[in-house]
Amino acid sequence: MQLTTEKKSFWLQGISIEKRNKALKLVRDIAEQLKDPMYVEKIVMEPDNIPNGGTLHPWDPITLSHGYPGTIMLFAELDRQFPKEGWDLIAHSHLVEIQKAIEKQGANSISMFGGVSGIAYATSYASRNYERYHIFLQKLNEFVLSQLHLVLNYGKEECGVHPFMYDTIQGATGVGRYLLQNIQLESNLEALKQILNCFINMSNDIEVNGEVLPGWYVPYTNQFLETDKILFPDGNFNCGHAHGMPGPLSLMALAIEQGIEVPGQKQAIRKMIDWLIKWQDEGSWPARLSFKEVVNDQSYHVYPKRKGWCYGNPGVARALYLAGRSLKDQKAMKIALSSYQDTLLQSEEEWDLSSPTFCHGRAGLLQMSIRMAKDEDGEISMQSITKLIDYVMDAYDPQAPFGFKDLQSNEQTSNELNKVGLLEGVSGVLLTLLSLSAVEEPWWDGVFLIS
């Protein structure tokens, strides 16, 4: 099936029908290959599909990052756009595999990308406006609520915070976004307010070694990467959207825009806005700031070259934009927009996005740009969006089982892996391309806290 010019009410305007059809055909072709959940698992579990230096396959059937929740979201979006084609049945077959996996291995985390919040979000997306899966969704929701206290207390023994407590991937920001999407339940509203209060507390100053610091300081022992412990022996302030303060900032802002506010929320947003603006340098933000940099009020670190969602200017700018909008702060919104526009004027080499995927790749930059274009009509050129569409589709490999591979590289190694999840896999790429053919606004990208 092709889109026609008669379908005038596209959610995103300004893209040629030829470009939309090219993207849709590619999505359909690859989606056909992903229909069989057993085939999906077989490909990811091939013996050589392992990161260099690693031992584990990029697969976990119950996680949004690396498993069936990602494919369920993909088929659910296809069902939303083409409800008579049976994509809901395909989504259901993948959901059955999640249920089997939970029975076999259990589910311990409530995080968005590694646990039950992600399963619940994906199942909600596939429920045809909550007409299906009532009992399963209720059980998932009850589990999230029962375990939330463990997340909010994570790392509390240290002065400062732990990313696994607050961040988008594993922490309360991701859980909070699930709750915000399902706020019609009174119990979810109260749980979300607990998270918001936690983030307000995180915005308060703390004293570390005689120095007054923002409460989102991550001490040495709470850094989950060994490289961070080497680079930041006194701890750091994470500025990335995936693991840093911009995640909680975005959640607080989105909550306000839905009429959900607790005392101190706007003040916390204001403090974080001012901090991000202070540490911006020529439109760029560091991935992390060290203890000494913040104490000495001077940044010494090289800014991240990659223009991704997880780290880099676009993710931070999007968070700053949402925060500014929630407070009706035109100055903050203009600073964010200007930084974003500067990014889009750069070359592909300057973007440094070799992977087509969402987290650290091209799809993430495209979807964030689509959101900025929707929110700032005329301020983001559709020529830039078209360039990004081509940039994503240029990474298509007809020889790859899933059409797109996740490329990860550093100075020592380079990897091309078959992944299926939303975060680093083909589901995130295809859902981004499906934004071009949507009539109704999609909400799958809410999990990334960009909407």
Binding-site residue positions:
310, 359-360
Q: Which residues pair with 207 in a beta bridge?
A: 212
Contacts for 403 with CB less than 8 Å, ≥ 6 apart: 26, 29, 30, 33, 396, 397, 426
Q: Of 340, 309, 274, which Cα lies nearest the Cα of 450?
A: 309
Residue 210, CA distances (Å) to 36, 138, 206, 207, 295 in order:
58, 48, 10, 6, 10
CA distance 429 to 436: 12
d(CA 171, CA 360): 19
User: Hey, is 289 helix, strand or coil?
Assistant: strand
Residue 54 tokens read as 């690693």
Task: Give residue 10's region: left, alpha or beta (phi > 0; psi -120 to 50).
Answer: beta
Measured CA distances, 131 to 125, 143, 162, 244, 280 (Å): 11, 21, 38, 36, 46
Alpha carbon distance 175, 196 (integer Å): 11
Task: Look up tokens 């031992």; give the residue.
Answer: 55
CA distance 60 to 75: 18
214 token code pair: 């923002």
Q: CA geometry: angle at 4 spanning 70 and 24, to 5°? A: 25
Nearest-angstrom CA–CA distance, 422 and 253: 24
Containing 100, the helix (H) or strand (E) segment is: helix 87-105
Q: Which of 80, 110, 375 is nearest to 257 (CA)?
A: 375
Q: Which two tokens stand for residue 307?
A: 């223009």
Positions at the binding site for Zn(2+): 310, 359-360
Enter the tokens of residue 164. Answer: 């696994």
Whole-angstrom CA distances from 382 to 156, 203, 290 are 46, 37, 38
Candidates 134, 161, 165, 168; CA nearest to 148 is 165
Q: Give me the sign of the Cα torsion angle 103, 104, 109, 111.
A: negative
Pairing status of strand 211-214 against strand 236-238:
unpaired
